[in-house]
Amino acid sequence: MYLFIKAKEAGLIKENVFITTKLSKFKKLVAIHVDGETQKPDMDLVLYGVGKDDAIKDLMIISLKTSLRERAGQTYKWKLLLEIATSDNPIKTKYNINYPLNKIPIVCFATINFYNEINNPQHRGMFKFFDKSFIGKPIKADFIDNLSSLIDFANNKLS
């Protein structure tokens, strides 16, 4: 969070893009309903763009984790559920899945990879479900970018 605050102060993040860790409002906003039960995403940061009327225009949720084992799995399962909830398919009908928001948020995952799990094929497969993934350690891979590119990505994706 500190990195984003400093980037915002330095003018590196667009004026109409904001960052928050106060997530309760956003978790309610992006909740998926499965037959009357609520499924909320695992998210640690929300970046959002606002329009001229100060209404939320674009939304990016980021799950920040030190380990990939369980946390990436939780986040990618919610993203998969989001894909089902926003498409026309028999699974959506079978489980009575609803998603009230008109626009799908950008779902990102960021890790430091303390436990060096990044090259496990099962873990790498999870990254395909995210709109973008970032890592704090230097790496050259087609499925994940360096954390330093997160601000540029947010500026490009958020209005």
106-154 confidence digits (pLDDT tens): 999 998 877 777 877 777 788 888 999 998 888 778 888 988 899 999 9
More confident residue, 35 or 72: 35
- Residues for the chain: how many in total? 159
**Distance between CA atoms of residues 136 and 111, nearest Å:** 6
* Strands 106-111 vs 56-65: parallel, antiparallel or unpaired: parallel
| Domain residue extents for the chain | 2-157
**How much is the CA Rg of the chain, to the nearest whole Å?**
16
Q: Is the pLDDT of residue 157 over 90?
A: yes
More confident residue, 60 or 142: 60
- pLDDT band (50, 70, 90) for residue 97: very high
Give the pLDDT score at 105: 93
Q: Is the pLDDT of residue 70 over 70?
A: no
Task: Write phi, then psi, for 131 (nearest 5 degrees).
Answer: -70, -30
Q: Which two tokens stand for residue 41?
A: 């995403």
Average pLDDT over all residues of the chain: 87
* Strands 106-111 vs 132-135: parallel, antiparallel or unpaired: parallel
Asked whether the beta carbons of 1 and 142 are under 8 A apart, the reply is no
**Distance between CA atoms of residues 92 and 144, nearest Å:** 30
Mean pLDDT, range 15-36, rounded to an integer: 88
Give the pLDDT score at 73: 79
Q: Is the pLDDT of residue 25 over 90?
A: no
Q: Of all residues in the chain, what percent carry a pLDDT higher than 90?
A: 34
Give the pLDDT score at 129: 87
- The strand pairing partners of 47, in sequence order, are 19, 60
More confident residue, 133 or 4: 133
Largest CA distance in the chain: 49
